[in-house]
Structure 1
Amino acid sequence: MNISSVARKATAIVVAMAAMGAVSTAYAQNSIFPTGWDNKVRDRLFMRFGYTQTFNKTKSEDARDITGPVATRQQLADAFELGRKISQACNDDFDNPNNTLNGGTNFVAADCYGYADGNNGYAYDAGGGGLLLAELDREHLGGLGTPPGIKAKTQKSVGTPTISLGYWLDDDYKWLVEAYVLAAPLKIKIYGDGYRDDGSPNSINGRHIATTKMLPPLVIGSYNFGDRRSVVRPFVGVGAMYAIFFDARTTSFFEEYQGGKTTLTTKNTFGFGPFVGVQSAINDDWHVNVSLGQVTLKATSTLVTSGTQIQSGAAVLSDYPAGIVNLINTGEGLWDQNRPDQPDQFTTKVMELVKRQRGTSDLGTYVREQKMKITSTILSVSLGRSF
């Protein structure tokens, strides 16, 4: 465990225990409640300090493009055609920056040096052209965007010190409402998940892709067995949580995978579920409480990538269906055979041609959505004091 993390937790425990001691002293000296409330309200109130640990299971949908693919089918078709025309317009001295062009074209020598495949456009035809477009159609893809099967999951366990206030609703101390009023934000790591169509893990599977913070206000309503003088009191109840997400950060690895600077936001969400537990009295004022519950949250995250670039060798290219990956690799191989002066550049050149036709320096800003269902098992151990 990280030493600084242990230090923070220890500090939180010391501060909270000091606060409870101060409350106890204040209670012994003066009531903090208005006159007449002492017997009606104060005797039913208590405060608990403890530690809460969550154990998480995630079920994720595939990420989906909200603004469409990075390069659409038509843009790719136009780029392949432009690359083929440039290649056919250039003479065999394609790797010479001063190359002269065949007549009847609007291209310049730099186009030959930059984009001619050295084989009369064959790389653009065999590695793309109609073959790649047909494969995109077969896979029901509108272009090259987020590959199928891209998922996410939260880290398995995370915990924080907590302080709660409780109130007995009846004179028999059977019905109880407890609210967790103070907790350090949970710092939750998010990992990539998912598989390619051949069953192999995709490029982000198991990789740390983002971190977000969450405040988890929680209210538990419970029925407690036994009576107020029982030493041990089991209880059953229902908990409701409103998860507040903030301060999310994506990792450099994930931004490289996405192709540009990426921001992450997650909508706040509500969840509820069953709780059970037991309270054991130490004396008339102090008790120990253990509770175990489960809350299901449905989280929707939005990812915005700006200044997008896709280049040869990008990890995302290996996560498309096998037919698309094979055609991209074919284009890369043909390019390398005939353009050894610029190896590993086929996909980079195609995307440059897409940008050229758009008149932009990058592939734009793209929005993606990721939905997850997070089932959290919540274990709390606390020390309580009645007011």
Structure 2
Amino acid sequence: MPRNSAMKNAFPKKLFSIATAVALCSTASLAQADTSDGKRWAVSAGWLHIMPQSDAQGVTGGTTAQAPLLGERALSYPQAGFEVQNTNTAGLIVDYLVDDNLSIELVIGLPPKMNLSGKGQIVLPSPIEGHAPITAANLDKFDKIATNDAYTPTVLGKYHFGTIQSPVRPYVGAGLMYAHFANIKADRGVNAELNNDPLLALLNLKLGPIKVEDAVAPVIIAGMDFAINHSWFASASVSYAHLSTEAELEIFGKTALSADAPTGVILRGKSDIEVNPLVTNLGVGMRF
């Protein structure tokens, strides 16, 4: 995926400052305000297009003391790693309107299926002096090396410009996202790739479970509501979450070069995964 650092830094600092102030003011105003038409709630459903601003962050780890011939060695691959691909999902957005201008929003929806592509190569030193290093895995072969379901409930404080009667109402906001990653599955071709080298094939290597840490991320949002009538509206927004996490994995194999050798952890690795999603939303909702 092409690097997109310019897009990551494109959100104006003023927008972030205003949106953060809105989140704080919304809570303070909750108990002492009302809407001019008495409608406190807005619920909308729509389509979310998720565009991670993702770059490979390197892989670190090493072989363990159980690894035949190689022994325990620390290894680092700064050019390798994983990138998250674009995806889509359906979203449900619930707003509680504190007054005509301030609201508190909860964003939930169907957990999107996130696909990770591999970048770089995992190379092991040869156990035979003078021989070329062993390529344990060429991650570039995998456009989809793993998948997971991402649960990302988000709470935002928003400031809406204009009045309840305005046909078009821009808004800005800020809040927090909680990200939980589940159902993590590696491509079936990973185990075949790990045993592609004849020497490593003697160990019958197999990828163990992949663990991805939960994470909390700040979020900013800007959008517009378009009045259809007094109750119904259409909405469009773009948001950005500064989200990253860490994945850990273990590779199992024979701990000796014999047919009846026990199985143990041969390699361990971990990698930061940069997500940083830019999310567009198009939806239709109702105020009541």
* TM-score between both structures, scaled by the size of structure 2: 0.70
Counterpart selection for 2:261 from 349, 355, 360: 360
The answer as to 2:221 corresponding to 1:275 is: yes
Counterpart selection for 2:167 from 231, 249, 253: 231
Which SS does the other structure have where 1:255 is aligned? Answer: helix
Q: CA, structure 1 residues 56+39, in 2 after alignment: closer, same or farther (shift >3 Å)? A: closer
The 1-side partners of 2:38 and 2:269 are apart by 51
Aligned position for 2:208: 262
Aligned position for 2:89: 160
Contact 1:66 1:369 in 2 (8 A): no
Which SS does the other structure have where 2:268 is aligned? Answer: strand
Counterpart selection for 1:179 from 96, 106, 110: 106
CA positional deviation for 1:220 = 2.2
Q: CA, structure 1 residues 299+41, in 2 after alignment: closer, same or farther (shift >3 Å)? A: farther
The answer as to 2:98 corresponding to 1:169 is: yes
Paired letter, 1:270: V
Paired letter, 2:44: R
**Identity among equivalent pairs (%):** 20
Following superposition of structure 1 onto structure 2, how do residues 3-18 of structure 1 map, counting pairs within 5 Å?
Answer: none
- After superposition, the C-alpha distances for 1:320-375 in whole angstroms (9 at most, x for unaligned) are xxxxxxxxxxxxxxxxxxxxxxxxxxxxxxxxxx7159x93456454321112211
Contact 1:177 1:219 in 2 (8 A): yes
- After superposition, the C-alpha distances for 1:164-220 in whole angstroms (9 at most, x for unaligned) are 2101112xx111111124x111111111013689xxxx8211512111111111222
Contact 1:223 1:235 in 2 (8 A): yes
The answer as to 2:87 corresponding to 1:151 is: no
**Larger helix proportion of the pair:** 1
Which SS does the other structure have where 1:213 is aligned? Answer: strand
The 1-side partners of 2:269 and 2:175 are apart by 32
Contact 1:211 1:250 in 2 (8 A): yes
- After superposition, the C-alpha distances for 1:1-26 in whole angstroms (9 at most, x for unaligned) are xxxxxxxxxxxxxxxxxxxxxxxxxx
Instruction: Give the count of matched residue pairs.
Output: 230
The answer as to 2:73 corresponding to 1:142 is: yes
Root-mean-square deviation over aligned CA pairs: 3.0
User: Structure 1: any 5+ residue segments left out of the alignment?
Assistant: 1-37, 78-140, 310-353
**Larger strand proportion of the pair:** 2
User: Structure 2: any 5+ residue segments left out of the alignment?
Assistant: 1-33, 124-136, 195-204
Bigger radius of gyration: 1
Following superposition of structure 1 onto structure 2, how do residues 1-387 of structure 1 map, counting pairs within 5 Å?
Answer: 43-65=39-61, 68=64, 71=67, 75-76=69-70, 142=73, 149-155=79-85, 157-170=86-99, 173-181=100-108, 183-194=109-120, 203-205=138-140, 207=142, 208-258=144-194, 259-306=205-252, 308=253, 355-356=256-257, 360-362=261-263, 364-387=265-288
- After superposition, the C-alpha distances for 1:54-85 in whole angstroms (9 at most, x for unaligned) are 1112133222226747748xx449xxxxxxxx
Aligned position for 1:135: none
